[in-house]
Amino acid sequence: MPYFSKAQLSDFQGARSSGIAYTSVTYADALSIYNNAGSLGFLENSSIATGYKNHFEIEGFNSVFAVINKRIKTGAISAGISAFGDELFSISRVSTGIGNKFGIAALGASLHYIQYRIEGFGSHGFISVDVGGLVELTPRLFIGGRIKNINQAKASKRTNEYYPTILTAGISYRPTDQLRFNTQVDKDLDYPPKLEFGLEYKISSFSLRTGLNTRPLWFSFGFGFIHKNFILDYALQNNYLLGRTHSISIAYQIKN
């Protein structure tokens, strides 16, 4: 099951990203450390965020996370923790990252300490490094890219299994301040590329979202609501083979 590996199940990119089929490599928000560390350079405010995700409505297939972002002169620094699983099998992660902006572009990197634990077999930890960048070609057109696990860390000494190394490139076209069209391609070094599409439409303080993932085929829907400094996002993904996945995120922006 290359597209639903343990590593991918433990990833949490936030409910906003889930609602647009993960086409978020060009987005700068509270979850940038997980989507594209380069976009941290575009953050305008400090923030804290937390969230929850249940995969395929299966008990024990749950993810939780918490993130804090601090705006600095040239960009932002970020730190986060996340966990997936139960007492039988779990994956925990501690992350830190930084992004710096120069002109119309930003570059960043994030470091993740990831630990697998299986009851009866003990635990194994390793470090994975991501790098990414984001370019604002025009106020309406953004291009982003990311390499996940650029150091090709080994996830298991017992089986010599490597943590996935994934190359991502995406484009976001924003014809108005309310509308965003996103296209993104992900290429795992061991598997064929997959194409994703996302659409986000903002109506005052509300946002409506939908997306499509091609490998395997699944759809996503979601919404967001902003009230003063609080941001609430929810997403539903529907995979015809494995079922539904629910995500919720809450963020608080700290104005600089």
Tens digits of per-residue pLDDT, 21-32? 999 999 999 999
> Does residue 53 contact residue 247 with C-beta atoms inside 8 Å?
yes
Mean pLDDT, all residues of the chain: 90
Residue 108, CB-side half-sphere exposure with 13 Å CA sphere: 36
Contacting residues for 100 by C-beta, under 8 A, at least 6 apart: 41, 74, 75, 106, 107, 108
112 residue type, one letter = H
> Is residue 1 scored above 70 in pLDDT?
no
- Of 173 and 154, more confident: 173
Helices vs. strands in the chain: H and E counts, helices first? 3, 16
Segments forming the whole domain that contains residue 241: 2-254
- Of 3 and 157, more confident: 157
Q: What is the CATH number of the domain that holds 28?
A: 2.40.160.60
> Is residue 34 scored above 80 in pLDDT?
yes
> Is residue 52 scored above 70 in pLDDT?
yes
pLDDT, tens only, 229-254: 999 999 999 887 778 999 999 999 99
pTM for the model: 0.89
- Of 103 and 58, more confident: 103
- What total of structural domains would you count in the chain? 1
Cα 16 to chain centroid, rounded: 9
Distances (CA, A) of 244 to 2, 24, 58, 87, 147: 18, 20, 9, 23, 28
> Does residue 107 contact residue 100 with C-beta atoms inside 8 Å?
yes
